[in-house]
Amino acid sequence: MKESVIDALDPVLIPGGPLARLRSAWRRDILLRLGFGIFVAVALSTAVYTTYVMKTLRTEAEQNLRERAERLADVLSQALARPLFDINSAAVSSVVDASGATPEVLVLRVLAPNGAELASYVSPLREPVAAIKVHRDINFTDVRRSYPVGSIDLAFSRQQMDQDLRRQIYNTVAANLLLALGIVLSIFVVGRRAARPFADIQDGLEKLTRGETDINLSGIGREDQVGRLSDAVLRFRDTMTRLRDAEQELRELNSDLEKRIDARTRELTGSMQMVSDSKAKLQTIVDTALDAVVRMDLAGRIVGWNTQAERIFGWSRDEAIGLALDKTIIPPRYRYDHRRGMQRYMAGGSATRTVLDTRIEVVALRRSGEEFPIELAITQVKSEGQDSYEFCAFIRDISDRREREQKLVNANVMAEAANVAKSEFLANMSHEIRTPMSAVIGMAYLALRTEMTPKQHDYISKIHRAALSLLGIINDILDFSKIEAGRLEMEAIPFALEEVLANVSSVTAQRAADKQLRYLVEVAPDVPPYLVGDPLRLGQVLINLANNAVKFTAEGELELRCSVREPAVDDGKATLRFSVRDTGIGMTAQQKSRLFRAFSQANGSTTRHYGGTGLGLSISQQLVRLMGGHIDVQSEVEQGSTFHFDLQFALSDASALKKQAALYPAQPGELTLQESPRRAARVLLADDSLVNQDVTIGLLDLQGVSVDVVHNGREALDRLHAAGPDTYDLVLMDLGMPVMDGHEAVRLLRQDSRFDELPVVAVTSNALAGMRAQCLEEGMQDYITKPIDPQRLYSVLTRWLGLSMKVIPPLPPRADAGGQDAHQALAELRALLAEFSGDSLDYFDSVREALATLLPPLTMGRLTSHMEHYEFEAAGKLLAAAARDQENP
C-alpha cells in the first residue's frame, strides 16, 4: 500500500505520457478517485441546491414583500377612513406624507369614490424600478352601516429584494466551490499521513501470527482511529500474555467463593428469624392502627382483617377471613362493578390500575346493613409466591368529616347568598335613587338659569351642590357594590402617565388653592412616560387620596409624587410608586387600623367636622388591589400623613397610544366643533317619567331644539312609523318604560331599514358595567346615564346632530337693596364658627352681601369655599386674619 501511494504521487516512476500516467494513477490510487468524486458531487449538489434555494428565496421574498405591501395598505386604509369620512384634507395629506418614511414606497395615491385624486406621494428615485402594486378600497363603518369613502393605489419597490437575492447567489456559489476544493486537498494530505501507520500495523499482525511479541507501531499515542487500532493490536498481544496468568487466579477465586457461600448461608438463616419476628411486630402494628386494614387475594377472598376493621364493619377476624369481599363490605349496587373491575384487571386492563396507590371516597356496608362513607386507599402487595400478589386496602370511616363538611358548605352557601343579596340591594337602591335624583339635579340646573332673588339663587345653588354631592355618594356605593359582587373589571390599555397626573391635578388643585395650600406634583426623571393599564381607575384612586389630603389639611402643603420602585427588565414591566403626602391632622395607630374599612372614618368627630361616608378609601384600596397593589399609610398626629402604593405596569410607547386613539375615538364629551350656523333640530323623547320629561325638555329648550314626547316604546314606534324616517333627527330612548321598554323598541325599529341612519341615544339610570356595550350591540348609537349631566347631553347632541352646543352659565341673582353692618356680621360669624354651631351656615347666607363689601374678593371666595365644605375651623382662621387686617390697616 505504501508503494502504491508513493507511485501515485511521484509520476517520474511511471513510464509513458501524462495521460497514461494519469490513467495509471486513477486505477491504483483510491485517494485520487475519492477526491475527484467528492469534488464532482459537491459541485452538482451546489448547483441543484443553489437553484432550489434561490427559487424558494425569491418566492418567499416576493410573498413577504407583497404581504408587507398588503399590511401597509390595510394600515393606511384604517388610518384614512375617518379623515376621508370627515373630508379632513389635512389629516389625509399628513398620513400620505408619513408614508414617505417607508423607503420601499414608490407611489401612493389616495382617490375619492369618483376616482379623483385627493393626495399622492411619489418617490424621488429617477431610475425605473420593478414594483408590486396594491389597490385597496376604503370604507368607514359605524355601528350599523359601512360607507365607501375612497381608495388607495400603492406601488412597493422590489429593488432591494432583487439585490439581496443576487448577493446570496454569488455568496452561496463561491462558498460551495471553496468547500469542494478544501475537501479534495484535505483528502490528499490526510491520505499521505494515514498510509504509513497502516503499513506498520500490517507488519505487526504478521509477527503476531508467527508468535513474535516485539512489535513496533508508529501509531502508538495517537487519539484517532489509527491510534486506537494500534492500541488494540498491543492489547491483543497483552491479552495473550495475561491469559496464562488468569488461569491461576481463577483457581484461587474459586476457593475463596466457597468460603463466602458458607458465610452467606449462616447470614440468611439469621435473616429468616428476623423476618419472622418482624411479621409478628407488623401484625401488632396493623392491629393497633386507627384505620381498617383489609387484605384480599386474587380470588376476591379476605385474607387479612385487623382490629379496627372489626370495629368499623362489625365482623370479627375469624368470621371475615375467607369470605368474599364483595359480599361483606361492598354495598349490593356496587358488587357487579367490583367483579367487572377485577376481571378487567386480571385481563391486563388499565381501568382498575387508576384506583391503585391513590385515595378515593366511596360508600361501604356494615354488617348491620348500614351504608356509610369511607376513604379508601388500595395498594398491591407481593405475596410469598414468586408470581403471586395480594391487594391491601386502608379504610377510614369519614362519616363525621362528611357531616362537618356539609355544615361548612351550607354555611358558605348562606354567606355567599347573603353577600350577593347585599350587593344586589346596594346596586338596586343606587339604580332606584338615580331616577328622582335626575329630577332634583335637572330642575335645580334649569332654575339657576332663570332670574331669581339672591336668597332664591342661594337656596337653589345649595340644592344643586347637595344633590351633586349625594350623587357622588351614590356612585361610591355603586362602585362598592360592584367590587363586592366581583363585577368590576380592570382595563389594560396604553395611556400617557402625564395625562393622568395632569387630570388629577386639575380636579383637585382648586380646593387646595382655596385653602392656600402648596400643591406639588413631582415625577421622577426615570419614570416611563407611556404605560399599559387602567388610567381611569388609577386617576380615581389618586383623586380620592388628594381630596382626602386637602380635606384634612388646614395649612401647609400637599405633594403628589411618582417614582420608579423597580426599573423595567427583560419582561418589559416596571413597578412605580405613587404617594400622596400632606401636613394635616394625622392619625393615631388605632385610627389607622380601621382606616380602610367601609363606611368608617378615623373617629366620629372626624365625620361631624369634615363630612364624608367613609367609602372613598375603602374603594380606593379595593381598586389598587384589583390592579395588583396595596395602599399603605404612615402618619403621626399633627404631623401629617403619607399614603403610597406600588403598581406594576407593562411599558408602552407613543405609537401604541396613537393606535389606541385610532381604534377607540374620543368620547363625545371630548369633542369640540367649530361654530356652525344654527339649523332646526327635532328630537323625539321616549320617557315615562313626567318629571324627567320636563328636565330633558328644559335642557333642550335652552339650545333651541324642538322636542316631541311619548311615554313608552310602543308610542315611540307608532310616532316614528307615522312621521317617517326624515321627521326626527335623533331619538332619546329611556330603557325602562311600561308597555314596551327601550331595548325592545330599538330592536323592532332596527328591523325597518328606513330608519338605519336615525341615531338613537339610550337614557337610563342603570350605570352598571356592560350596559353601554349592550346598548351599542342592540343598535343604539350612544349612552347617557341618569341623572343627566347637561354637558354630557350637549356633547352627545353635538356629535350626532352636528350642532355646536355650549353650556349656558347660570344667571346671577337680582340685586338686593337690603344691607347690614359688615363689622358686626364678621364678629358674630366668628363667634358661631368658634362654637362649631350649625347656625353658622344660615347666618353666613344672610350676611354674605354685607361681608362682600368688607372683605377682598379673593378672601371672600376662599371663605365661601370653606363654608360650603363645612370647614369651620379653616373659615374661623381666615376671618381672624381678616379682622386683624381691619384693625391694623
In tens, the pLDDT along 70-104 reads 888 888 888 888 888 778 888 888 888 877 777 77
- β-strand pairing of 782-785 with 760-764: parallel
Confirm whether pTM is higher than 0.75. Answer: no
For the cut 90, the answer to whether the pLDDT of residue 614 exceeds it is no
The pLDDT-based confidence of 426 (bands split at 50, 70, 90) is low
Residues 6+ apart with CB under 8 A from 45: 176
Q: Which of 77-81, 478-482, 656-660 has the lowest mean pLDDT?
A: 478-482
Strands 389-397 and 371-382, by their bridges, are antiparallel
Distance between CA 682 and CA 17 in Å, rounded? 113
pLDDT band, very low/low/confident/very high, at 206 (cuts 50, 70, 90): confident
Please state the rounded mean pLDDT for residues 466-478.
Answer: 69
Over the stretch 112-140, which tens digit does the pLDDT of each residue have? 888 888 888 887 765 566 778 888 888 88
User: At residue 594, does pLDDT exceed 80?
Assistant: no
pLDDT digits (tens, 9 = 90+) for 528-553: 999 998 888 898 889 888 888 888 88
- Position 15 scores a pLDDT of 55
Per-residue pLDDT at 865:
80
- Sheet containing 146-157: which strands, arranged edge to edge? 117-122, 105-111, 146-157, 131-141
Work out the number of other CB atoms within 10 angstroms of the CB of residue 317.
14
Express each pLDDT in 319-366 by its tens digit: 888 888 888 888 988 888 888 888 887 777 554 556 777 888 888 989
* pLDDT (tens digit per residue) in 221-265: 777 777 777 778 777 777 777 776 777 788 788 778 878 887 887
- Indicate whether 879 pLDDT > 60: yes
Place of cell 395611556: 495
* pLDDT, tens digit, 9 for 90 and up, residues 693-750: 888 888 888 888 999 999 999 999 999 999 998 899 999 999 888 899 999 999 999 9
Contacts 24+ apart (CB under 8 A), 547-550: 547/508, 547/511, 547/616, 548/580, 548/616, 548/617, 548/643, 549/580, 549/581, 549/582, 549/584, 549/641, 549/643, 550/508, 550/511, 550/512, 550/515, 550/517, 550/582
Q: Examine the pLDDT at 8 and tell me if it is beyond 50.
A: no
Instruction: Name residue, grid cell 516512476.
Output: 13
List the end-to-end C-alpha distance of the chain, in Å, as a whole number: 127
Please compute the mean of the pLDDT values over residues 378-385 and round it to a whole number.
74
CA nearest to 395, candidates 479, 312, 478: 312
Distance of CA 118 to the CA centre of its chain: 41
What pLDDT score does 710 carry? 94
CA distance 644 to 579: 4
How many angstroms separate the CA atoms of 785 and 434, rounded? Answer: 9
Please report the pLDDT score of residue 729 as a whole number.
Answer: 92
Residue 576: what are its φ and ψ, rounded to 5°? -110, 150
- Predicted confidence at residue 707, as pLDDT, reads 93
